[in-house]
Every structure is written in C-alpha cells, then in structure tokens.
C-alpha cells in the first residue's frame, strides 16, 4: 500500500490470487476488489486492516481482468477474457449474483459503469466492439463497433463537458438551461445524476459558470 501524501510504501504487500490485474475500490473506500487472472478469482481486501476478507477470493470466469464498482457500491463487474463474459458480484455478500456471468463479446478487457449506475460498458478486444449491459436486468442491451483491439483499461467513462441549452451571456441563459434539463431528464435531480454531478447545487453551479461564458 502506498501513502499518496508521501508516495512511500506504508504497508507490506498484501497476498492475493495469482496474476493480479484489474483493481477497483468501493466508493466508501472500505474495500478493494482485485481480479486475479491466473487463479480465475477476485480477492477482496479490507482497507481498514489491509487483509483479505473472509470468503475471499471469489471464483469467477476464466482470465478475469477488468473490474468496476457501481456508484452505490452494491455491485462489482468483472470481465473474463477467457470465457467471453462478465461476472457480477454482490458486495453485501461477496458472492456472484444469480444470472451471472453475462455473455458479451470476444475477450472482454476493460469495463466501466456510467455515473448514474444504469449501464456498464465492456470493451471486447477480441471482437472489436463494446457491449452495453443494463444493470437493472444484468442483460446486454446493445453493442457498438469500435476500432481494432479495444482495451479501455481503467476508468474510461466520465461526465462529458456540459453543453447547456441557454446561450452564454444572455439574461435567460440559466433559466432556459434549467428548463431544458428538467424537461429532458424528468427533473433536476435526475439530470444531475445522469450528467455525473454530485448534487443539484453542483449542476446549477456548472450552469452558472457556463452562462457567464
């Protein structure tokens, strides 16, 4: 473990499975999930003690590589390169959920969750496409062709730079932007979540900055 304030190692290496690859931390910082490619499992580390939790590691598919945690911390999505699927782990029990794994494209590598937690995007390096998973049903709801050998390892989804409906510099810019967002998303709270803002106030601040030009 490395202390980011000093960039020095402050704890001994933590033993996990064989061939650790992808790593993801829960939003509350209490747990770390590590995909172990060679042992086909996921280790779960308690950050308070820097030791593996009871019940860890969790058996998943073949050659697990990418790991992503949902924004609410309830699920972990793990890409299995060797079995062309995605395992879903419930963090409350650290067990693979019913209906998992989910079949995706060839040799899935990178994985990321949208800011609102509704979709998971999986980069399939073997089939040159990206699978889209609906987290409500844990089913593939779409596929998008991309370039050759996509990897997209690590965090590759984030809120785009907002382009609001109002025109910067005009007196009605903020009002027009708010109205358009509320109408499109069914309210400002839903708009804030969909666009990756932590709160309505943060979204309104971004609108204010945008409208000032």
91: which residues sit within 8 A by CB, 6+ positions away? 26, 31, 69, 73, 74, 75, 76
- Count other C-beta atoms under 10 Å from residue 70's C-beta: 20
Which tops the pLDDT comparison, 78 or 197?
78
Residues 61 and 96: their CA atoms lie apart, in Å, by 11
Mean pLDDT of the chain: 90
Q: How confident is the model at residue 95 (pLDDT cuts 50, 70, 90)?
A: very high
pLDDT beyond 60 at 123: yes
Check if CATH label 2.130.10.10 holds for domain 2-145. yes
- Minimum mean pLDDT among 41-50, 61-70, 122-131, 151-160: which range? 151-160
Residue 6 has pLDDT above 90, yes or no: no
* Contact (Cβ atoms closer than 8 angstroms) between residue 79 and residue 121: no
Task: Give 133-185 pLDDT, tens digit per residue.
Answer: 999 999 999 999 999 999 988 766 665 555 788 899 899 999 999 999 998 88
Return the pLDDT at 155: 67
Residue 32 contacts residue 44 (beta carbons within 8 Å): yes
Domain ranges of the chain: 2-145, 173-211
**Quick check: 79 and 108 in contact, CB under 8 A?**
yes
What is the tens place of the pLDDT at every residue in 98-111? 889 999 999 999 99
18-40 pLDDT per residue, tens: 999 999 999 999 999 999 999 99
């Amino acid at each position: 473990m490395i202390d980011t304030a000093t960039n020095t190692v402050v704890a001994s290496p933590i033993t996990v499975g064989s061939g650790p690859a992808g790593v993801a931390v829960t939003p509350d910082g209490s747990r770390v999930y590590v995909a172990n490619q060679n042992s086909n499992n996921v280790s779960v580390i308690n950050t308070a003690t820097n030791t593996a939790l009871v019940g860890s590691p969790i058996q998943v598919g073949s050659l697990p590589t990418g790991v992503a945690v949902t924004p609410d911390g309830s699920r972990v999505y793990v890409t299995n390169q060797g079995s062309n699927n995605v395992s879903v782990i419930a963090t409350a029990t650290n067990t693979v959920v019913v209906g998992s794994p989910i079949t995706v494209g060839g040799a899935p590598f990178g994985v990321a969750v949208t800011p609102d937690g509704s979709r998971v995007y999986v980069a399939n390096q073997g089939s040159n496409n990206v699978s889209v998973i609906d987290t409500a049903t844990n089913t593939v709801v779409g596929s998008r062709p991309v370039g050759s050998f996509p990897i997209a390892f690590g965090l590759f989804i984030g809120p785009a730079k907002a382009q609001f409906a109002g025109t910067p510099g005009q007196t009605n810019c903020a009002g027009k932007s708010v109205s358009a967002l509320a109408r499109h998303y069914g309210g400002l709270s839903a708009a804030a979540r969909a666009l990756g803002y932590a709160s309505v106030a943060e979204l309104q601040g971004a609108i204010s900055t945008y409208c000032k030009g």
